[in-house]
Chains A and B, each alone.
Chain A
Amino acid sequence: MSSSSSDVLLPVDSSIKPPVFLHLGDTEPLSGVCVLDVTLPFGKTVNVEEISFKNHYTASVSMRLLRTGPPSQWVTAVRDLPLMENPHTEGGSQDYCCIHRTQVDPDHVISVRLILKQPSSTWRSFSLDDIRILPHKQQDPEKEVSDWLSDLTLADQHTDLEGLPPPQSVSSSLQQMFALTEVMMQSNETTASIGRFHVDGCYDINLLSLL
């Protein structure tokens, strides 16, 4: 299931396997427990900001996270979070829900497993829809200051200048030549053409429309 983009954060591309209903022995799969695995893109770990989904008649949900770092292990993030007040009634059966970063320990996650429970026999099929995992964005300091700008502050460093012409005067000459070239190029932009290669009428709009 591919994710659609939201305004601020893009959900991580995740594939959600079809729910697996658990059952004991040979009985019909009506145990009221199903497991949803959400696999994240291969090879990448995600720092989860939040997980949002739409309920569909699930009474409660547990979430387990597979985290990296030797050894990779499953950690229970959320245990039996109730989604419906009363499993037999409608209340909360189609709510939108969101599990936040602060409620869980969500860094370096490879895989997410959601265990859905619906003990009521009223609702035989239940699941979670539209599961989105939003990654945590690090606040990178904006790198406005480029390398060349920070180089300017190194002016105090004296390179070995023996036998070389004084850089100050050479630089000032170069700056003047640079400025002169820029003046010429600005004049370039505003120049009309002499129309050497224009033939009257060949660029008429009505001619072009016949093509």
Chain B
Amino acid sequence: MADKEKRRSGAAPPGMPDGKATKSDCDREFLSQAGVGELLRGAILKMVEARSDDPIGFLADHFCNLASVTEPGTAGCGDADQMNNGPQSAQEQQHLNRALWHLRLAHHSQRSAFSNNVCVAYDLLNSTGPRRRAAEVPECPEGSCNDSQTEVGGGVRGGLYTQTLQCLCSEGGVPASTSAPLLRRLHCQDHEAVPYDVFRHGVLTCAVFSDYIRQAQRLYAEVCCPDEGPASRALGMAVLGTLREALETSQGSEANCCVNANTKSNSCLEANVKAKRYLEASAKISPYKLGQAMATAQTRGPGGDMDAKEFENAAAELFITRVKVLS
């Protein structure tokens, strides 16, 4: 950063009567007034978090987004009427695009980076509500935020939230028909205000689901021998069957946990029970068990083929049935 400052000061007219010390003071003052230090620091931090493959493109996008924040800031307040016309104003669309850009920065497995990005995206989308009632916000308990669609800070507009989820799924490579049942469980009505927790859960679920579907597609490619056309139905069902068993085992008989509900909760014991269930579940998808299941299926399974779409839908169903319905 010091180098950049020197280069910029080098571009100043060389005939300045002031000495070197005051020249760099001037420059430093100019830079601190402009807030350049903060700008660059923010950009570098974001880049470190995102670790994108294209640093120049990333920085270009980043500064583009920042520029679009500062420009229509004044225009937004005056255009309160415009925002109520039509379901999606231009500004909302812009906010949505920027929020999606933020959400794309980090993979969901990078927990803290992903959480930060979700926070930023939420704030962005939250700010698209019309501002004219900012002065009249009455005190309301959290539960009644559903009905007031226009309160600033009540939450993200339901329609916008649903759109975000749809975009996330389609960008993740999930066909609309596959993601439709998931969105039915997660979506919100347009008049509802979505709090942060729900927003985060929805976004995380869609991100995880995209990964899951891509994995399922890869799995199908492995299960069907590529030269011989579609996979046999027996094999496909057997493979998915082992996954279903593993998921059911890991969720386990909740009754076992409840038996101990009245005794002193021994968190160590509970952790042991959970660990045991996970071990048991993962044993079901071990290569040995899988080999057995596939061999059995080959000899005794139903006939016919299973195409990629059907396999994908069956795998998606395993995931979607376990998504909690929003209420």
- Given A173-B218, A180-B215, A184-B208: A191 touches B239 (CB 8 Å cut-off): no
**B208 touching A183, Cβ below 8 Å:** yes
B260-292, CB under 8 A of A: which get 1 and which 0? 000000000000000000011111111111111
CA distance A167 to B319 in the complex (A): 22
Please give, as numbers and ranges, the residues of chain A lying within 8 Å of B239 by CB-CB distance. Answer: 170, 174
Within 182-205 of A, Cβ neighbours of B (below 8 Å) are at: 182-185, 187-188, 190-198, 200
Name the residue of chain B whose CB is nearest to the CB of A154.
B288
A168 touches B282 (CB 8 A): no
Contact with A along B280-314 (1 / 0, CB 8 A): 11111111111110110010000000000000000
10 contacting pairs across A/B (C-beta < 8 A)? A151-B289, A170-B219, A173-B215, A174-B219, A175-B285, A177-B315, A178-B285, A180-B212, A187-B200, A192-B198
Q: Total contacts A to B, CB within 8 angstroms?
A: 150
Measured between beta carbons, the chain B residues less than 8 angstroms from A155 are 286-288
The smallest C-beta distance from B60 to any residue of chain A, in angstroms, reads 32
Q: A188-B323, A191-B201 are in contact. List 18 more A-B contacts (CB 8 A).
A: A149-B283, A152-B283, A155-B288, A161-B291, A163-B225, A164-B235, A164-B294, A174-B246, A177-B315, A181-B318, A182-B250, A184-B323, A187-B201, A191-B197, A191-B324, A193-B327, A194-B198, A198-B146
- In the assembled complex, how far is the CB of residue B272 from the closest CB belonging to chain A, in whole angstroms? 11
B190 within 8 A of A: no
Q: 1/0 per residue B16-37: CB within 8 Å of A?
A: 0000000000000000000000
State whether the Cβ of A146 lies closer than 8 Å to any Cβ in chain B: yes
- The answer to whether A169 has its CB under 8 Å from any CB of chain B is yes
B325 → A minimal CB distance (Å): 10
Is A170 a contact of B223 with CB atoms below 8 Å?
Answer: yes
**Could you tell me how many residues of chain B have their Cβ less than 8 Å away from some Cβ of chain A?**
62
CB distance B212 to A177 under 8 Å?
Answer: yes
Question: A74 CA to B2 CA in the complex, in Å?
Answer: 105
Say whether B327 contacts A196, CB under 8 Å. yes
Q: Is A165 an interface residue (CB 8 A)?
A: yes
B242: chain A residues within 8 A (beta carbon): 174
List, in ascending order, chain B residues with CB within 8 A of A151's CB: 283, 288-289
A6 within 8 A of B: no
> Do the beta carbons of A184 and B319 come within 8 Å of each other?
yes
Name B225's contact: one of A149, A161, A165 (CB within 8 Å).
Answer: A165
Majority secondary structure of chain B interface residues (helix, strand, loop or mixed): helix
Q: How far is the CA of A192 from the CA of B209 in the complex (A)?
A: 20
Q: CB-CB < 8 A to A194: which residues of B?
A: 146, 188, 192, 194-195, 198, 326-327
What residues of chain B lie closer than 8 Å to A176, measured between beta carbons?
Answer: 215
Q: A160 within 8 Å of B by Cβ?
A: yes
Q: Is B222 an interface residue (CB 8 A)?
A: yes
Q: Chain B: which residue is nearest A176 at the CB level? A: B215
The reply to whether the CB of B211 lies closer than 8 angstroms to some CB of chain A is: yes
Say yes or no for B205: interface residue by CB 8 A criterion. yes
Q: Name the CB-closest residue of A to B195.
A: A192
Residues of A within 8 A of B108 (CB): 183
In the bound assembly, the distance between CA atoms of A154 and B142 in angstroms comes to 56
Q: Are B212 and A165 in contact (CB under 8 A)?
A: no
- Please state if B146 and A164 are interface contacts (CB–CB under 8 Å): no
Residue in A159, A170, A182, A184 whose CB lies within 8 Å of B222: A170
Whether the Cβ atoms of A180 and B208 lie closer than 8 Å is: yes
Given known A180-B211, A194-B192, A194-B198, contact A174–B288 (CB-CB < 8 A): no
Binary interface encoding of chain B residues 175-211 relative to chain A, with 1 for a CB under 8 A from any of its CBs, else 0: 0000000000000100010110110110011001101
